[in-house]
Structure 1
Amino acid sequence: MKRKIIIGSMIAALAIPALAIAATDEHPKGHHKGDIFERLDTNKDGEITFEEMTVKSTERFSKLDKDGNGAISIEEMTVRKKEFFDKLDTDNNGTISKEEARAFHKVKREERKERHAGRIMKILDADGNGTVTKEEFAAASDKRFEEADSNNDGLLSADELQKMGPKKGGMKKG
């Protein structure tokens, strides 16, 4: 029973920061409320259920639970910490230098940029041929406009732009 409480607490501890960021306008540099909300809202119904919120935490938990027994032992946590340390310590000298930390973060930043470019291409490249024509770009832009124009008057009000949010071409709250 005690183990289940600890496991539940760990899942909640992993999930709550993501939900807190998603629920506020205040978020760390590089994180965007809409992105997190959309990732958690897996069925895209505009609401996050408890099950949706815990999916990523459960996946992370499963990765840590190497033996699959439903609990994370101190040994499993130690293995995970060592694996992460070894990933950073590229020269294998037992220490992480500032250069190694920067290199690791640079790789992670590039991976995020690549994923972002892939998402953009998926949105814009309607025929899936790996390039975006002027027509495809215009069609995607028109679609964004139509989705934002909630009252269908052919104009975007400040309120409609605000609802789009800064990541989708709208205005920042201010």
Structure 2
Amino acid sequence: MIIRSRATTAGRRPVFRTMLGALCLVAAIPGHAQAPLGPEDTNSDGQISRAEARSAQARNFERMDNDGDGRIDFATFADRAPGVPHADADSNQTQLEAMLRPWFEDMDADDDGQLSASEYRDAADPLFDALDTNGDGQVTRDEMRAAMPRPPKPE
């Protein structure tokens, strides 16, 4: 399963949600089915509820919002986005920015060049909905594993 962006209008191309990869990696960790799925699973029940996912998004936004004005620009997002490898070399930085720019623009619902806390939080909802395949409002380890990209089969 690949999670695509909210719209392909105005020349925007669909963007793979890198959060899916991070969430699925957590799910792949061996362990008991009820083991916490990570820091998002605040009640340690082995599932991530929509409230827990939204709370994690809010915490991530607060961590990125250095000046506390409730908005982050692309440079701040590229420098502080969670789960993104940050480049040391200029050539890697250019590649990183090329990868992140469409994601940032897709989340920027009002096209003002900055992300508000609600834009950042709301960007996770389609991902959560796609992972929550049974629609019960909880994402389980099994649902995350099922969403993991599979390596191609050898020919």
Higher strand proportion (structure 1 or 2): 2
TM-score (norm 1): 0.32
Higher helix proportion (structure 1 or 2): 1
Q: Which has the larger radius of gyration?
A: 1
TM-score (norm 2): 0.36
Bigger relative CO (Cα 8 Å, ≥ 6 apart): 2
